[in-house]
Amino acid sequence: MKNNNKKLIINLSKKINKHNYRYYILNKPIISNYEYDKILNKLIKLEKKYNFIYKNSPIKKFNKNLLNKKFKVTKHYFKMYSINNVYSKENLIIWKKKMDKKIGKKNNYICELKYDGIAMSLIYKYGKLKSAITRGDGKYGNEVINNILFINNIKKYIKKIKNIKIFNIKGEIVFSKINFSIINKINKKKFSNPRNAANGTIHSKYYNKNIKYLDFIPYSIYTNDNNINLKINNQFKSIKLIENLYLKYQKKAYKLCKSSKQIINYISYWEKNISIYPIDGIVIKINDFNIQKKLKSNNIFYKWCIAYKFKDKELITKVKKVKFNVGKSGIIVPVVYFKPIIINGTIIKKASLYNSNIYNNYNLSINDKIIIKKSGNIIPKIIKNINFNKNKNKYINFPLYCPSCNKLLKKKNNILICKNDKKCKKQIIEKIKHFISAMKIKINNNIINQLFDNNKLNNITDLYYLTKNDFLLINVKSKVYIRILNEIKNSKKNNLNNFLFALCIPSIGKYICKKIEKKYKNLYNLLKNIKKNNIKFLGKNIEKNIKKYFNSFIIKQFIKLGFKI
């Protein structure tokens, strides 16, 4: 196998691992499901074609980084695989034809709603709820039973299964659309969408008042009881048993189908109608359990089912204003604010256009009608300016000078950058905010801005010289500044990966920081290896950036401050 192909497989594996971490742990995905699936399917094909698997392949290896370290890690009794996706009805029909060839045309399929929530596995032992495990990587998950006990429709005891040793109910933890609206009214912090809200609530370390607004929607059962397994030999019977034991499903939440036409009609119904809960597609399963067992699964997906994902919704709105934000690295990002719209239960009022070429392609003016799409139910995107070229004299042009310090911007790969990083107010403030957030110190942005304006916080090391009087100067309450000063003090004992990430070193993201921590453990070992020129495993560009930063005066200041990282 050529080195180029090997390199491509390794790079794709690393890319997927990064996206998995953002999705499962940070709960901040930056690509749509469609884009993610394209990368994943490409990796699967390449691994198969060249018979090469990277040691940290997301397809083959359990990744502990996909689990929340605040919670106990538990092995699933019955593995929770993922479901492969299709994004067109044509591809769905192709999949069904393949299945019909393998199992025969007379077999039934069952269509079910695909809920956009958090997958959960409930374990009952002799009728009592003993465990609640998140999906994790499918083999291991987080034990969150202490949180889910507060969900009203989760039963703590089911009398009808009191004689069964292990009874596993798998399902989805979700906020109904009504309850999502309620929690966004009663909480100071507004959630961007129901899935993020459900994930954050389930992974709360302490009791979270939002938990009582969650629902559990079961979709399958597994048991070690042979009598039940003989009786419940297909998914339709399984759902009927769940309804009998647990709760009634919403109307038309599932349907038994035989032909492609029946499946397409069911999908079309839910593309036009509104569900009580957030849904992002339809799952199509082979109904017969014996056939399911014969088809088995690969390391990621069940082979006996597929998920049809709904197309991204597009809506028309009006441009209100455009802001050109200066980021911590000096990159100018145009953010278009428009009249708020609701897509899939989420209020959207702005979209970023990332670089000058993309921005200039739209020729935007105030009150222009634009088409917005929420790509993969995640990222708002501007698709089209309907009024393109109608207001030639009123275009909002990309600035030539930095909106913060007024220095001439430099262009690199269609990105406009302010290189005045030592004096640009916005860059300095953004670096300070990033450092504070990465070091797990909770300070309101308004307090940071006021400390900066009063010349008390001009760089990240100034943080460690703040006193009670500095906070009194800007009228911060004693309860607040005592907590902040304690958190600042405790941050000196933070871990290496948080500290490195906080420093904003170019090309050094969270993933690289974790690799460095894994190899060197602490700051002392890292400094020792930098001096010995022993960090080549990271690549030339990253090595160069780390050396440059660690030879600067700022690192000496951190050491002088007594950091024990």
pLDDT of residue 45 exceeding 60: yes
**Mean pLDDT, residues 35-45:** 82
Check residue 399 and give its pLDDT. Answer: 93
Burial (CB < 10 A; 0-12, 13-18, 19+), residue 311, is exposed
Check residue 391 and give its pLDDT. Answer: 67
Q: Is 354 helix (H, G, I), strand (E, B) or coil?
A: coil
User: Which of 97-101, 325-329, 553-557 has the weakest average pLDDT?
Assistant: 553-557
Write down the mean pLDDT value for the chain: 87
- How is domain 3-64 classified at the CATH fold level? Helix Hairpins (1.10.287)
pLDDT tier for residue 364 given thresholds of 50, 70 and 90 = very high
Check residue 537 and give its pLDDT. Answer: 72
Secondary structure (DSSP) of 189-244: SPPSSHHHHHHHHHT-SS--GGGGGEEEEEEEEEES-HHHHHH--BHHHHHHHHHH
The CATH-assigned architecture of domain 73-309 is 2-Layer Sandwich (3.30)
* pLDDT 10s digits, 235-286: 999 999 999 887 778 889 999 999 999 999 999 999 888 889 989 899 999 9
Check residue 136 and give its pLDDT. Answer: 84
Check residue 152 and give its pLDDT. Answer: 86
pLDDT of residue 343 exceeding 80: no
User: Which of 171-180, 253-262, 310-319, 326-335 has the weakest average pLDDT?
Assistant: 310-319
User: Which of 173-182, 200-209, 304-313, 377-386 has the weakest average pLDDT?
Assistant: 377-386
pLDDT of residue 123 exceeding 70: yes
Q: Which of 9 and 368 is assigned the larger pLDDT?
A: 368
Pick the catalytic residue from 114, 285, 309, 373.
114
Q: Which of 213 and 522 is assigned the larger pLDDT?
A: 213
Q: Which two tokens stand for residue 115?
A: 């809920």
Percent of the chain at pLDDT > 70 equals: 95
What secondary structure letter does DSSP report for 464?
G
**Mean pLDDT, residues 292-321:** 86
pLDDT tier for residue 64 given thresholds of 50, 70 and 90 = low
**Mean pLDDT, residues 329-333:** 92
pLDDT of residue 468 exceeding 90: yes
Dist CA 115 CA 118 (whole Å): 9
**Mean pLDDT, residues 367-395:** 80
Q: Is 53 helix (H, G, I), strand (E, B) or coil?
A: coil
pLDDT tier for residue 310 given thresholds of 50, 70 and 90 = confident
Check residue 91 and give its pLDDT. Answer: 93
pLDDT of residue 377 exceeding 60: no
pLDDT of residue 552 exceeding 80: no
List the beta strands (DSSP E) in 344-462. Answer: 346-352, 369-375, 379-385, 410-412, 415-417
- How is domain 314-417 classified at the CATH fold level? OB fold (Dihydrolipoamide Acetyltransferase, E2P) (2.40.50)
Check residue 107 and give its pLDDT. Answer: 87
**Mean pLDDT, residues 64-82:** 79
Q: Which of 402 and 495 is assigned the larger pLDDT?
A: 402
Q: Which of 67 and 358 is assigned the larger pLDDT?
A: 358
Q: Which of 446 and 225 is assigned the larger pLDDT?
A: 446
φ, ψ at 391 (rounded to 5°) = -125, 60
Percent of the chain at pLDDT > 90 equals: 47
Q: Which two tokens stand for residue 136?
A: 């994790």
Q: Which of 368 and 246 is assigned the larger pLDDT?
A: 368
Name the most confidently modeled range: 34-48, 197-211, 397-411. Answer: 397-411
- For the chain, where do the domains classified as CATH 1.10.287.610 start and end? 3-64
pLDDT of residue 529 exceeding 90: no
Dist CA 510 CA 514 (whole Å): 6
pLDDT of residue 378 exceeding 80: no
pLDDT of residue 62 exceeding 70: no
**Mean pLDDT, residues 287-311:** 87
Q: Which two tokens stand for residue 10?
A: 């390794």
Q: Which of 334 and 537 is assigned the larger pLDDT?
A: 334
Evaluate whether 246 touches 313 at the Cβ level (below 8 Å): no
pLDDT tier for residue 539 given thresholds of 50, 70 and 90 = confident
Secondary structure (DSSP) of 243-277: HHHT-PPPTTSEEEE-SHHHHHHHHHHHHHS--SS
Closest CA to 421 of 538, 506, 509: 506
- For the chain, where do the domains classified as CATH 2.40.50.140 start and end? 314-417
114 is a catalytic site residue: yes
Dist CA 448 CA 429 (whole Å): 8
